[in-house]
Amino acid sequence: MRESLLDELREVDRFFMGTSRLHEAASRLTRALDELGVSHAFVGAFAVNMHGHRRATEDVDVLLTSDGLARFKERWLGRGWVERTAGSKGMRDAVCAVPIDVLLAGEFPGDGRPKPVVVPDPATLALERDAQGLPIVPLRTLLELKLASGISAAHRLQDLADVLRLIGVNGLARDYAATLDPSVRAKFDELWVAAQAVDADA
């Protein structure tokens, strides 16, 4: 087996153990943001794993406000973090060599077009903490964002696959849909039915 593939497999193992360079990057980011008093929450694979679906990733997805991002950049750019392109939201942890994708409160998930589901301000959420102490979006928020993203953007199929798996591992009832934004309930129901078939085949 090629050494590069072995390295990738080792990194995946470290990710599931919570000791990967991505976890180091997320922890560094949390410490830097906490020092500034900036509310933030992790989404993407970090949130998916926290809520029971084991999936690896190659980047760190974090939810911020525009003001929080501006304050972070003013304090920390050039001090361990760099912009991926000049003026972009996306950054890179130069110490851990990890991309950081930023979702801004007020934006729309998926295709970016206006829709009922809006990326929330992390300060308004009842955040949970994972085993490393990272603030994670609650399950309902994660499901709404992923459903809205997957519905509106054809290339975001991973978001819908994540929802299907999250339904199964959390044993969500069909009527959980009633807790979600009306715009995503039908897709949740469709994936709930599919999740039952997956469980039956397991």
Lowest mean pLDDT among 27-36, 41-50, 145-154, 190-199: 190-199
Inform me whether the pLDDT recorded for 12 exceeds 90. no
Q: Which pLDDT belongs to residue 162?
A: 97
The SS3 of residue 95 is: coil
Inform me whether the pLDDT recorded for 2 exceeds 50. no
Give the separation between CA 123 and CA 64, rounded to whole angstroms. 9
Q: Check if the beta carbon of residue 90 is closer than 8 Å to that of residue 57.
A: no
Where in the sequence is the domain holding 48, given as residue range(s)? 3-201
Number of domains in the chain: 1
Q: Report, as an integer, the average pLDDT of 177-182.
A: 98
Residues in the chain: 202
CATH number at residue 19: 3.30.460
Write out 44-78 in H/E/C secondary structure. Answer: HHHHHHHCCCCCCCCCEEEEECHHHHHHHHHHHEC
The SS3 of residue 127 is: coil
DSSP state of 183: H
Q: Which pLDDT belongs to residue 1?
A: 41
